[in-house]
Amino acid sequence: MIPKRIIYSKGKLRILDQRYLPFKINYFLARNSKDTAKAIKEMVVRGAPLIGDTAALGYLLGIDEIILKGIKTNIKEILKKNLQILTNSRPTAVSLFKTTQRLHQKAIKLLEDGADINEIRKEIEKEAFKIIDEDIQSTLKIAENGVKLLSKDSKVITYCNTGSLATSGIGTALGIILEGYKKGKISHVYPCETRPYLQGARLTTWELMKNKIPYTLICDNTAGWLMKNTKIDAVIIGADRIALNGDTANKIGSYTLAIVAKKHNIPFYVAAPLETFDLSISKGEDIKIEERSSLEIIKIKETYIAHPKTNAYHPAFDITPHNLISAIITEKGIIKNPNQEKIKNFLKKILNLKNI
Ligand code: MRU
């Protein structure tokens, strides 16, 4: 079993510190929104849906702090500030913005309707746990839907970490792999290391190992050669934000993998909850890509692997254009060969909207 990722009790949030995995189980203690934002920024916790869930609890911690400190004035301003602190932590994964804004709107409405801070806290706690439950349920549905695309005994490549360590549930792409293995649809998994943070090497292999799924770790630059020499049936990845036309932001290296998969006629699947669609963004170029410190490239933990003065470029995500994606798998169904028209029609139907 993967340890609990986030454990909340009034005024405290214990966050499984993924920086030490798989070697040490450590928890980072957050007592307010600021600590939670620090944990997100510094990669204590990562993975789009889990970032969203953690931030939701971080928003709740902000309210706990108001109560514990006995603050009686400027509540609205404090809540707004907490929202900003949380949303400033990382820019690309849209769940972070959606979960915190959902709670903030609710809190402000309650405040304006005259609710006292304890009543607001109670309602926000309920809503935060609803968000987490929605995440858990959607991972189960994504897995159920994704498995339908796989043929018996498939060998698949996956990228980054999209499992229990990236969600509150079983995961998105990795959830499909887990479920696929149970149903005889997956025979072998090739997780890519995922430089520079090595989410694939450290986290995905650990999850596969714990679930007793046969796997072989590969370096990111091995994927093309593997596709040429071994029968790979699919590439399955997750997503941090999807534009209305299907262009998908995911961990840096996803784009390269998609191009190589296309060259070898291998289906390239993106698995993500509906929440990952950003309806305000029409194309990938408009998605904000986080740029992280070059130190994360030239050092592994405390060891330099290049000269300390080395100049390095570190975008944390890239955009895979929709025409390289064979299907987007969501909890509400699959969008094959996604494009703007198909996505709009799908979302209109699912969300019961007249216009998007
Ligand atoms: O920088 P990270 O580790 O937060 O990036 C995570 C990814 O890119 C995942 O593939 C994505 O969030 C999907 S997780 C279900």
Q: List the CATH number of the domain containing 208.
A: 3.40.50.10470
Residue 255 lies in a domain: yes
Beta carbons of 130 and 99 less than 8 angstroms apart = no
Domain span at 17: 6-140
Q: Which residues pair with 336 in a beta bridge?
A: 327
Phi, psi of 73 (to 5 degrees): -120, 165
The CATH number of the domain holding residue 23 is 1.20.120.420
Asked if 218 and 202 sit in the same domain, the reply is: yes
Distance CA 77, CA 91 (A): 22
Burial of 24 (0-12, 13-18, 19+ CB in 10 A): exposed
Asked if 128 and 102 sit in the same domain, the reply is: yes
* Residue 173 alpha carbon, nearest atom of ligand 1: 15
Phi, psi of 258 (to 5 degrees): -65, -40
Asked if 129 and 268 sit in the same domain, the reply is: no
Asked if 127 and 107 sit in the same domain, the reply is: yes
How high is the pLDDT of residue 55?
Answer: 98
Radius of gyration (C-alpha) of the chain in whole angstroms: 20
How high is the pLDDT of residue 353?
Answer: 84
Residue 154 lies in a domain: yes
Phi, psi of 299 (to 5 degrees): -125, 145
How high is the pLDDT of residue 296?
Answer: 96
How high is the pLDDT of residue 287?
Answer: 98
Residue 285 lies in a domain: yes
Tokens of 4: 């609990």
Beta carbons of 347 and 339 less than 8 angstroms apart = no
- Pick from 149, 144, 113, 109: nearest CA to 127: 109
Asked if 124 and 234 sit in the same domain, the reply is: no
Q: How many CB atoms lie within 10 A of CB 79?
A: 23
Burial of 26 (0-12, 13-18, 19+ CB in 10 A): middle
Ligand 1: residue whose CA is nearest its atom 5: 47
Q: Which of 140, 163, 191 is the last residue of a domain?
A: 140
How high is the pLDDT of residue 352?
Answer: 86
Residue 356 lies in a domain: no
112: CB partners within 8 A, 6+ apart: none
Asked if 128 and 252 sit in the same domain, the reply is: no
Q: Which residue in the block uniquely carries the two structure tokens 């050092």? A: 299
Beta carbons of 277 and 343 less than 8 angstroms apart = yes
Asked if 222 and 295 sit in the same domain, the reply is: yes
**Catalytic residue from among 17, 35, 240, 247:** 240
Ligand 1: residue whose CA is nearest its atom 6: 47
How high is the pLDDT of residue 283?
Answer: 98
| pLDDT digit string (tens) for the chain, length 356 residues | 899 999 999 999 999 999 999 999 999 999 999 999 999 999 999 999 999 999 999 999 999 999 999 999 999 999 999 999 999 999 999 999 999 999 999 999 999 999 999 999 999 999 999 999 999 999 999 999 999 999 999 999 999 999 999 999 999 999 999 999 999 999 999 999 999 999 999 999 999 999 999 999 999 999 999 999 999 999 999 999 999 999 999 999 999 999 999 999 999 999 999 999 999 999 999 999 999 999 999 999 899 999 999 999 999 999 999 999 999 999 999 999 999 999 999 999 998 888 88
- Pick from 332, 319, 329, 342: nearest CA to 272: 329
One DSSP character per residue, 234-282 reads EEEE--SEE-TT--EEEETTHHHHHHHHHHTT--EEEE--GGGB-TT--
Q: Which of 120, 140, 160 is the last residue of a domain?
A: 140
Q: Given CA atoms 54, 36, 279, 237 in this order, what sign does their dihedral have?
A: negative
Asked if 22 and 67 sit in the same domain, the reply is: yes
Q: Which of 140, 167, 200 is the last residue of a domain?
A: 140
Residue 17 lies in a domain: yes
Asked if 313 and 243 sit in the same domain, the reply is: yes
Residue 1 lies in a domain: no
**240 in active site:** yes
- Pick from 39, 166, 199: nearest CA to 95: 166
Asked if 215 and 253 sit in the same domain, the reply is: yes
> Is the minimum distance from the CB of 167 to ligand 1 under 6 angstroms?
yes
Question: Cα dihedral angle (168, 105, 84, 52), rounded to 10 degrees?
Answer: 10
Length, in residues, of the chain: 356
Residue 82 lies in a domain: yes
User: Which of 161, 172, 274, 314 is the best mutation target for the ligand 1 pocket, counting ligand atoms within 8 Å of the beta carbon and taking the most?
Assistant: 161
Domains in the chain, number:
2
> Is the minimum distance from the CB of 166 to ligand 1 under 6 angstroms?
yes
Helix, strand or coil, per DSSP, at residue 154: strand
- Residue 251 CA to ligand 1 center (angstroms) comes to 6
Residue 174 lies in a domain: yes
Asked if 36 and 20 sit in the same domain, the reply is: yes
Asked if 77 and 194 sit in the same domain, the reply is: no
Q: How many CB atoms lie within 10 A of CB 339?
A: 15
DSSP H helices, 267-335, are 295-298
